[in-house]
Amino acid sequence: MRVVLQQLTKRFGAVTAVDALDLEIKSGEFVGLLGPSGCGKTTTLLMIAGIYRPTGGAIVFGDHRVEHLMPKDRGIGMVFQSYALYPHMTVAQNIGFPLAMRRGVAGDEITRRVREAAALVHVDGLLARKPAQLSGGQQQRVALARALVKRPDILLLDEPLSNLDARLRHEMRGEIKRLQKEVGITAIFVTHDQLEALTMADRVALMSDARLQAYATPKELYERPVNQFVAEFIGSPPMNFFAAELGRRNGSVLATAQGIEIELPPARAPRGDGQRQATVGIRPEHLAIVAPGAGHANGEIYVIEPMGREQIVDVQIGERRLRAIAPPGFSAPLGASVGLRAAVDQLHLFDPAGGERLA
Amino acid sequence: MTGTTLPAPRAPFRPQTLIPYAVLVLATLPILVLYVWLTYSSFFPRIEGFRPVGPFTLENWRFLWDPGSVDQLRNKPAIIPLTINTFLFAISTSVVVVLISSMAGYALSRLPFPGRRMFLGGVLLLHSFPSVTLLIATFIVLRQLGLYDRLLGVILVKAAFELPFGVWIMKGFFDTVPWELEMAALVDGASRLRTWWRIVMPLVKPGLLALGILTFVQGWNEFILPFVFMPSGSQQTLSTFVRAILGEGRFVDYGLLTAVGLYYVAPVLVLFVVAQDQLMRVYAGGVKG
Ligand SMILES: Nc1ncnc2c1ncn2[C@@H]1O[C@H](COP(=O)(O)OP(=O)(O)OP(=O)(O)O)[C@@H](O)[C@H]1O
Ligand SMILES: [Mg+2]
């Protein structure tokens, strides 16, 4: 089912937790709500669920506004960050609870559908246990089964992976993504981990300070961040930034900073002549280490961090440091002079004043 | 892997570990000795110091099966109806307190209604307020309501006096139930009322049990309220009965008094032994899944 949020706002006293949020989620789409802690992700989800009443704005499911509906009448399933399994009930009773709350679902149908839902997330062997007797990963699967058992139109997940260890998190990332596509359900999940958002979601809504910063596919967010906040938040290790002067030489635009000089390709240069200053962003994976003098900048190696598949190299250029990625075979003593070459068509220019993308 | 389990290494014995036990034993010993003394002295005609005098006898316990033959009990209510009355009083008080506390405690724990802080402060203040000072005011209210000298009236008064403690304790228990559980139940299709009944209440069951037991014991032991507000004999409770035996004037039959006293405390002792786990939780103040 399609979900549309229009100018959705929530205030707690003087605190604005969500500020005029506009979001449209297509039927069957998997959307990640990404942002730093306290930016209003959970509040947004709880308004969609009907737990919080919005201060203003509209929530539309399909073609109907639902702000006035009780949670039980909204056709949603939800997985909470703490899983919120009922401690006094067995796994089977937990999964069956949403069905038991409905009129006219017979006992044997409940049993059958609980089995089905449990099998879907591979917890069918645990039905007689209490939540306290389950591992974190198992609890999470049970919570998923409970959210899905009544075949809701919309699935909401609040930080579904944050309580799992790294290995399990990786496994469940794929599992949830597969499940969402398999069931074909419209789903929204909250996370503060950009990797989770980028790997799982069809589209990512990036929030900060109660506001929506960007809403785009992971690819777009990575390749064409709309402002400096998005560029900083997406990508690991994070993008390098430096302030540069813009000038012209032989008809093309030149970005210069202390020890750095880059000629911008036409596609990456700001239109018009007005712009004199810019914040230039370049991802570490788009900086290559070359012989001194052969690149766009020269500096000394500050530190090298081997990561197995690659190495992260910090290079000191005058007073600033840029981070580059080198192949595993690269080796150089600390302090060695090197050059840096930027993949110029991967540069990002932002307005130093507002942080908006220039080109 | 070996097939046998190794014995867990034993912690070396340290004499200091005995100190807490020694202190506890010393502190409880006098109480224990007194109860033992009370028990056996009820089976002998006379006691001199700690030494019983005369043969073993059930004479003192005659009030149970042949109250007519006991002088002091001639014109007193019979012991069995009195016991039932006391049970009725204690159980009703307990039920009323548990019921109201669980609703008030939930509201105080969850709802941000105006005046909530003041209400909480008031509850605490009332709890530490000596209820004796309210006797006259209560008397007037009961008279007005036509509840004076009736069991129902005393039950309501006793429940009212116990409520601050109950509300406070139950609020504490409700505070330990995570909000997310309630949100989950609402999303799963339960109404507010069903969420409270099916999810929240089962999770505070230890609190309900403990509060119920404590209030029962409080009601069982209550003396002032039945004594003041139910003066006519027919509806007395055991506590006022014990007092009546004591204050009968010319001389006190200590044999009878010990037997009746034991009869009176027995249910409380049994209850404490059976329910000590539940009671500990009120003071430890936690619910465990
Ligand atoms: N019930 C509430 N009462 C008052 N303020 C609240 C309430 N719930 C949230 N807030 C405030 O609203 C803001 C957004 O909170 P929210 O829980 O939505 O953040 P979040 O993005 O989910 O953060 P996290 O990643 O830490 O879970 C925060 O500043 C928070 O303090
Ligand atoms: Mg949150």
**pLDDT value, residue B250:** 62
Q: Does residue B283 carry a pLDDT above 70?
A: no
ipTM summary value: 0.83
Cα separation, A146 vs A270, in Å, equals 52
Q: Percent of chain A, pLDDT > 90?
A: 53
* A interface test, pick of B110, B176, B187, B208 with most A CB neighbours within 10 Å: B187
Reported as a pLDDT band with limits 50, 70 and 90, residue B4 is low
- Superfamily covering domain B69-286: MetI-like (1.10.3720.10)
Q: Region B218-241: what's the mean pLDDT? A: 81
- Among chain B residues, the shortest Cα distance to A84 is held by B181
pLDDT value of residue A244 = 87
The closest CB to that of B190, out of A50, A72, A87, belongs to A72
User: Would you state the structure tokens that stand for residue B180, as one six-digit string?
Assistant: 């997310």
CB-CB contact of B106 with B98 (8 Å) = no
What phi and psi, each to the nearest 5 degrees, are found at residue B221?
A: -85, -10
Q: Once rounded to an integer, what is the mean pLDDT over residues A123-138?
A: 91
Q: Rounded to a whole number, what is the distance in Å from the CA of A164 to chain B's nearest CA?
A: 18
Mean pLDDT calculated for residue range A278-282: 90
Alpha helices in chain A (DSSP H): 41-49, 91-100, 107-120, 136-148, 166-183, 194-200, 218-223, 228-233
A14 lines ligand 1 (CB under 6 A): no
pTM here is 0.80
Chain B residue at shortest CA distance from A148:
B188
Q: Which residues of B touch A104 (CB under 8 A)?
A: none
> Residues 112 to 171 of A: which have CB under 8 A from any B CB?
130-132, 146, 150
**C-beta A28 within 6 A of ligand 1:** no
- Predicted local confidence at residue B2, as pLDDT: 45
Spatial distance between the Cα atoms of B110 and B182, rounded to a whole number of angstroms: 11
Cis peptide preceding A265, ω within 30 of 0: no
Per-position DSSP letters for B182-240, written without gaps between them: HHHHHHTT--HHHIIIIIIHHHTHHHHHHHHHHHHHHHHH--HHHHHH--SGGG--HHH
Consecutive H or E run containing B24:
helix B18-41
Residue pLDDT, tens place only, A69-109: 999 899 999 999 889 999 999 999 999 999 999 888 888 99
pLDDT on residue B286: 46
- Between A48 and B148, whose confidence is greater? A48
Burial class (CB in 10 A: 0-12, 13-18, 19+), B130: exposed
A111-123 burial by CB neighbour count: b if 16+ within 10 A, else e?
eebbeebbebbeb
Burial A42-64 (b: 16+ CB within 10 A, else e): bbbbbbbbbbbebeebebbbeee
**pLDDT of residue A215 exceeding 60:** yes
DSSP A350: E
**Using one digit for the tens of pLDDT, what is the confidence trace for B246-273?**
766 666 777 888 888 888 888 888 888 8
Looking at the predicted structure, is the pLDDT value of residue A49 above 60?
Answer: yes
Q: Is B42 helix (H, G, I), strand (E, B) or coil?
A: coil
Contact by Cβ (8 Å): A131, A142: yes
Residue A44 has pLDDT above 70, yes or no: yes
Q: How does strand A277-282 pair with strand A15-25? A: unpaired
Q: Could you give the CA distance from residue B289 to residue A89 in angstroms, rounded to a whole number? A: 10
Average pLDDT estimate for A32-40:
92
Under the banding of pLDDT at 50, 70 and 90, the label for residue A188 is very high
The DSSP bridge pattern shows strands A30-34 and A186-191 to be: parallel
Give me the half-sphere count of Cα atoms (radius 13 Å) on the Cβ side of residue B22: 5
Q: What separation in Å is there between the alpha carbon of A35 and the centre of ligand 2?
A: 10
